[in-house]
Amino acid sequence: MTASNWTLVMEGEWMLKFYAPWCPSCQQTDSEWETFAKNGEILQISVGKVDVIQEPGLSGRFFVTTLPAFFHAKDGIFRRYRGPGVYEDLQNYILEKKWQSVEPLTGWKSPSSLTMSGMAGLFSISGKIWHLHNYFTVTLGVPAWCSYVFFVVATLIFGLLMGLVLVVISECFSMPLPRHLSEHSGTYDTFMRYSIFGILGLRFCAHTEEAHAAEQLQDAEEEKEDSNEEENKDSLVDEEEEKEELGDEDEAEEEEEDGPATGADEESGAAQDPAPREAREDLGPDVGPDEALDAASEQPPSTDAEVAEDTLRQRRSQHADKGPSA
């Protein structure tokens, strides 16, 4: 099968093998493939093979990366066969219709797509360059490095020519502007350029102003924090002074309360001990307090009648004193 008749696989059922004469794996499956091709009529299938050396365009169209490569085609739908190239496996693949469980090559991967057609053209060009290199090195006997230099220079020259052709085409299809429009366009470009610079400058100034304002806010916050810390310190000092003053006042009040209490205790002691003092005075200075207490306890207690008589006497004496003076 060649690039000129490959469209035959778009109709009916086909099995294709891609090989190269120098490939050992391809040589091992040649006999099995020949047997499979002879029985193609029995299996109701067409069998073909492609030499990738002679037909690089077809290898690019099917995107062959390993050898040997097998493909199944059914009414223009292609599938990759990844089993061994043995006759029995190939026969079972067709008879049991195992190809139905294989995902087909659709979209851009299909050999009939536009993408693979471009890939076929690139592979064809590369094949022609390879044949030309063999012609220089084998037939003419030119060193390999000279062939490589020739292809590099040819590539550069071809690229320059293609660029020149594109420039000429663009100049032919693009209409030149009138002079007044070109002047206006130049003025407009200058205006737009300065406008862009002005906008950038305004944005820069706004950014700097925002940064300055942010710094001022940060400084104000720091000053507030410092003032708050000082106020807290002053309040703590005032509280401590107030606590000290309150402690001094409490101590003074306790001392004042203790003074009258002691005086009252002395007076109560004196009131409770009148008899012993009088007894001590009657007994004499040499009598001790214990003896005076014993003497006071030995005296007979006074009755209520005696107390009443004493009070009457005192009142009479008071009236008698008031009478002559009046």
Active site residue ranges: 23, 26
Count the Cβ atoms, other than its own, within 10 Å of residue 62: 25
What does 184-249 look like in DSSP terms, one character per residue?
A: HHHHHHHHHHHHHHHHHHHHHHHHHHHHHHHHHHHHHHHHHHHHHHHHHHHHHHHHHHHHHHHHHH
Closest residue by Cα to residue 133 from 142, 120, 124: 142
Contact 71, 81 (CB under 8 A): yes
Q: Quick one: tokens of 253?
A: 């009040």
Give the E-state strand segments of 64-200 in sequence order: 69-74, 77-81
**Cα-trace Rg, the chain:** 66
State the Cα–Cα distance between residues 231 and 152, nearest whole angstrom.
Answer: 85
Q: Residue count of the chain, please give it.
A: 326
Q: Quick one: tokens of 303?
A: 């009755």
State the Cα–Cα distance between residues 92 and 96, nearest whole angstrom.
Answer: 5
Contact 55, 45 (CB under 8 A): no
State the Cα–Cα distance between residues 235 and 320, nearest whole angstrom.
Answer: 75
State the Cα–Cα distance between residues 213 and 220, nearest whole angstrom.
Answer: 11
For 37, residues 6+ apart whose C-beta sits below 8 A from its C-beta are 47
Which amino acid makes up residue 322? K
State the Cα–Cα distance between residues 216 and 29, nearest whole angstrom.
Answer: 86
State the Cα–Cα distance between residues 51 and 119, nearest whole angstrom.
Answer: 17
